[in-house]
């Protein structure tokens, strides 16, 4: 366990001299989500995974803000002695990888974004209240979903505020992606997110297209048939391929 602020994070590090890859989880998922990707990449890479606050085996906290998530990544990298890793993030983790890289371009070799991040998010209060209402309805179900990596050990209101903050960060992401100086490889799903209404995921994915033209550091490594939730399970080879492609592009190929 790695202590940080008022909590402690469960961290797994395979060690070795290979290219370090740090995996960043979805909003409520755990490090278990990366098992197939890690198996596909094999021992030529050093794999570092961890559970965020109140997820998996990590401890609860009084702070689940995105700033706390940034601090957690800082601490994991420092305590594991990792220099310029590849950051591989899915969904919320992809947002974390890009924003951390924008803040620390000299401390990261590159980012693989798995179905994210996209420069689109809800900012209208009616949409945000819809998020809060959904989690209020799910408040009795959330504890049952924790063992499956579909919820965290926190209140329904805390779950909702993570999503509200995430939408605000995505909505403001365009300038950050447009000015990013580190290489990013996207693996983009084609299917809808569960609960997607009116093709929202298609719109979010399409919002990336103008930035791909403007910033050559942003490239799509693969488009796959699975949906947002199943991409790591069904298309892990494509994610592993993007990691290898990025490692080669930055001159850190080891296998």
pLDDT confidence tier of residue 196, bands split at 50, 70 and 90: low
* 85 CB-near residues (< 8 Å, 6+ apart): 19, 20, 21, 22, 48, 77, 108, 109
Distance (Å, whole) CA 104 – CA 162: 23
Domain ranges within the chain, ordered by starting residue = 2-119+171-249
Q: Is the pLDDT of residue 26 over 60?
A: yes
Tokens 């890009």, residue?
98
Measured CA angle at 65 (ends 63, 70), to 5 deg = 105
Q: Which CATH architecture has domain 2-119+171-249?
A: 3-Layer(aba) Sandwich (3.40)
Tens of pLDDT, residues 47-59: 999 999 999 999 9
pTM of the prediction? Answer: 0.94
Assign 16 a pLDDT band (cuts: 50, 70, 90): confident
């Amino acid at each position: 366990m790695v202590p940080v602020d008022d909590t402690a994070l469960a961290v797994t590090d395979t060690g070795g001299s290979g290219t370090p890859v740090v995996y960043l989880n979805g909003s409520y998922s755990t490090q278990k989500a990366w098992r197939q990707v890690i198996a596909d990449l094999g021992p030529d890479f050093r794999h570092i995974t961890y559970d965020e606050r109140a997820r998996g085996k990590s401890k609860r906290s009084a702070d689940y803000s995105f700033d706390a998530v940034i601090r957690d990544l800082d601490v994991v990298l420092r305590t594991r002695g990792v220099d310029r890793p590849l950051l591989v993030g899915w969904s919320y983790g992809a947002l974390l990888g890009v924003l951390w890289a924008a803040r620390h371009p000299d401390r990261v070799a590159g980012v693989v974004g798995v179905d994210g991040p996209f420069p689109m998010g809800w900012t209208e209060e009616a949409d945000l209240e819809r998020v809060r209402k959904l989690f209020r309805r799910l408040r009795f179900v959330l504890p049952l979903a924790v063992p499956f990596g579909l919820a965290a050990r926190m209140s329904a209101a805390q779950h909702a505020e993570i999503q509200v903050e995430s939408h605000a960060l995505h909505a403001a992401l365009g300038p950050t992606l447009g000015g990013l100086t580190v290489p990013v490889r996207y693996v983009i799903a084609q299917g809808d997110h569960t609960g997607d209404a009116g093709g929202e995921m298609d719109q979010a994915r399409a919002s990336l297209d103008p930035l791909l033209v403007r910033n050559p550091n942003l490239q799509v490594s693969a488009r796959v048939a699975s949906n947002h939730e199943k991409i790591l399970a069904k298309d892990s080879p494509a994610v592993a391929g993007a990691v290898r492609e990025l490692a080669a592009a930055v001159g850190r190929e080891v296998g």
